[in-house]
A and B are shown apart, each in its own frame.
Chain A
């Protein structure tokens, strides 16, 4: 290659599209996942509220996770094709040389080594990210499945795997997000803005700094040639059907995974025990009133104070009239004398006696029965005799 192009192609449009899907799903997962891990933090609450509440956040997280895994399946298919059918160099495989590069890079940076390491198509920084991502994908998918389907998981595994999965899922996420911010953002955006995932190519200077080994190879024209078209066709006739079946199986498996259980995400009204809220105790029956005054000694024959009228007054009226001030009805003399407002019994004049008129009106705490009142009335008419 004698002519030196100003730019060097690194990623074709399909690869760039993959990266774009990855950015979207990863960012969404991080935005909806990290606030779930640190749910008590104010920032998390703000994010969750912004996204429409925790239920919405969980649904978004699961959708993004599904897209992420779909992308992984697609990627696996593509890598399989490239490695098996096209037999391209497995440039992403890490080797001892990458370890050396790391050390040389560090030593060069701190000024111990003059020469910067010459790095291949994928330098150690990129390999680190790629394999960290793969490790993360496996951890996150496995633990994510456990958290998504705890009942199915505990049919096979001990229950403690669920909280373990939660711990691993959360901290792995923290590691991934922190690594992206620290490592990816620095190397690809801060150090200088790397356009290769957007425009697809790098400048010569960028290639020199980051992929000088590959640059040399390109300049030397040192490529592994593609296999003959015939061989490729033959291989792909075997690879494509097998890989398609596997991919399809993986997609179906994924679908099965994400629709396995519902209790984790569905919101159903809580089942609460039904208790009778108002169930009064059997009310204590009211005490059965004071024993009704025994009418026995009083008969129609009682026609004098001593023969029963006195007892009737004492039993019916004595608790007030005789124990309190005012009118006393305890003795014959007191009864005839009357209270502070004068006589209440006018012998011979029943209808004129205040006692009778008061009893007739009913406005008195204690009342004679009709029969008793008749006896009293007759007694007064008879002159209210003592004996």
Chain B
């Protein structure tokens, strides 16, 4: 057998090479058309055929609930999108000819949901991530009046205009993407977005397009978006970790001269200790202990030196304290060390009392330890050098014990 193969092999060589080329070519074709798996390319009508009608301004699909859905595709926008190389029918699998088949959707929301699985064909991870999101939970709750307002993939990523998401070499979203994400959320969460736009983060994202500054998705997640209220008290209790992600990162905070001690000073204090313990032990229990956003604001976070809201200004901090401690007087805010570690300049009283104990404790314990050690030494040496005495001692001890 072996000799047969060896002898036959040379003559097979060209065929093997040819086969390899065919396979590589086929693989390359499959890879290049990897996204377009819904329908064979050959059968699809040319996109320009669809666009002849669909580029005309004003075309709408009238739905039975009275909504009209624009079905206009701008060739320029689509040409710039990440999907430009896909045939229309890759996604619109049911539309191959004119007249188009009847669509059963009664509302825009329903119409869009028809395409959820379509996205999953190429983006399965992202789609499955959304399955547990706050939006999905509301959509699947028949009693929620906002069920039909929840976004599907295409509400955030218009498939006909979505350009490629821009990231830097570390995989971090660019500043422009941060701003774009914020505008996307603003479509439905406008009040929050407007508050955010006024905040120190909002300015950084929307005005400066600074990639270091968080947009909505940095705190709330992208596809896994979890609601702050839907998860019991979990979001509240774990929220300090969200802020800490950036605010303990020296490589980011260093640029802006911000302290990275904010988390450990918070945890070391009464409020933070409690929140940390609650998070670990009773994540569902309500607690009135403040987390970062109770003092600094939720979406309207201001610089700490902002004259009207900044809590570095004592009057503003007092107002903040009074939210939970209504009886707080002007002295009260100083009982919080504002994330500073006590030093000779900052809270010197705390600093010196700490020093006092740093000296007293070793001194007192050292003194006691010395006396204890000397006593042990005496007992040990006596037992060694004068075993007799030790025996007597032991004996007398026993006698003493039995006498009681």
Contacts and interface: CB of A to CB of B under 8 A. Distances in A.
A108 B378 CA distance: 8
B361 A174 contact: yes
Interface residues of A, number: 84
Interface residues of B, number: 86
A202 B323 CA distance: 60
Contacts of B281: 45, 48-49, 53-54
A159 B375 contact: no
A275 B334 contact: no
Contacts of A175: 357, 360-361, 364-365
B137 to A, nearest CB: 13
Given A154-B329, A267-B287, A278-B149, A159 B335 contact: yes
A166 B342 CA distance: 13
Interface stretch (A25-33, A280-288, A305-313, A330-338): A280-288
A287 B365 contact: no
A369 interface: no
Given A106-B371, A182-B372, A286-B70, A154 B334 contact: yes
A168 B352 CA distance: 10
Given A40-B267, A203-B401, A269-B288, A171 B350 contact: no
Contacts of B404: 7, 195, 199, 201, 203
Contacts of A163: 269, 335-337, 342, 347, 350
Given A163-B335, A275-B191, A111 B378 contact: yes
A186 interface: yes
B372 A203 contact: no
B66 interface: no
A275 B192 contact: yes
A104 to B, nearest CB: 11
Interface in B265-305: 267, 269-270, 273-274, 276-278, 280-282, 285-288, 290, 294, 298-299
A159 B331 contact: yes
A287 B349 contact: no
Contacts of B324: 263, 271
Contact of A54 (B70, B149, B236, B274): B274
A154 B332 contact: yes
B31 interface: no
B325 interface: yes
Nearest to B236: A270
Interface in A30-45: 36, 39-40, 45
Contact of A365 (B53, B187, B274, B354): B53
A51 to B, nearest CB: 11
Interface string B318-362: 000001111111011111110000100001011001100100110
A159 B267 CA distance: 19
Interface string B44-71: 0000010011001111100000001010
Contact of B403 (A6, A39, A102, A178): A6
B370 interface: yes
A363 B57 contact: no
Nearest to A292: B58
Contacts of A364: 98-99
Contacts of B141: none
A132 B372 CA distance: 17
A239 interface: no
A322 to B, nearest CB: 12
Nearest to A132: B364
A3 interface: no
A314 to B, nearest CB: 16
Contact of A36 (B273, B276, B377): B273
A171 B357 CA distance: 6
B291 to A, nearest CB: 9
A167 B149 contact: no
A151 B189 contact: no
A188 B190 CA distance: 71
A182 B370 CA distance: 11
A270 B371 contact: no
Contact of B58 (A161, A272, A276, A286): A286
A203 B195 contact: no
Contacts of A301: none
Interface stretch (B20-28, B164-172, B202-210, B392-400): B392-400
Nearest to B314: A159
B238 to A, nearest CB: 14
Contact of A151 (B191, B325, B364): B325
Residue of B277, B324, B354 contacting most chain A CB atoms (<10 Å): B277
A278 B190 CA distance: 8
Given A48-B281, A278-B189, A206 B377 contact: no
A16 to B, nearest CB: 14
A290 interface: yes
Contacts of B379: 191
Given A53-B282, A162-B335, A45 B277 contact: yes
Given A7-B403, A164-B350, A365-B53, A183 B195 contact: no
A292 to B, nearest CB: 9
Contacts of A281: 186-188, 190
Interface string A33-76: 00010011000010011000110000000000000000000000
A18 B275 CA distance: 37
B126 interface: no
A279 B350 contact: no
Interface in A57-112: 102, 105-106, 108-111
Contacts of A168: 353, 357
Contacts of A111: 378, 381
A277 B290 CA distance: 22
Given A159-B332, A171-B361, 5 more contacts: A102-B371, A110-B377, A168-B353, A205-B396, A320-B53
Interface of B: 49, 52-53, 56-60, 68, 70, 72, 98-99, 146, 149, 186-192, 195, 236, 267, 269-270, 273-274, 276-278, 280-282, 285-288, 290, 294, 298-299, 323-329, 331-337, 342, 347, 349-350, 353-354, 357, 360-361, 364-365, 368-372, 374-375, 377-379, 381, 396-397, 399-401, 403-404
24 contacts: A53-B278, A105-B374, A105-B375, A106-B371, A109-B377, A111-B381, A128-B368, A150-B332, A159-B334, A160-B347, A160-B350, A162-B335, A171-B361, A178-B365, A186-B372, A186-B375, A195-B404, A199-B404, A205-B396, A205-B399, A263-B326, A270-B236, A278-B149, A290-B56
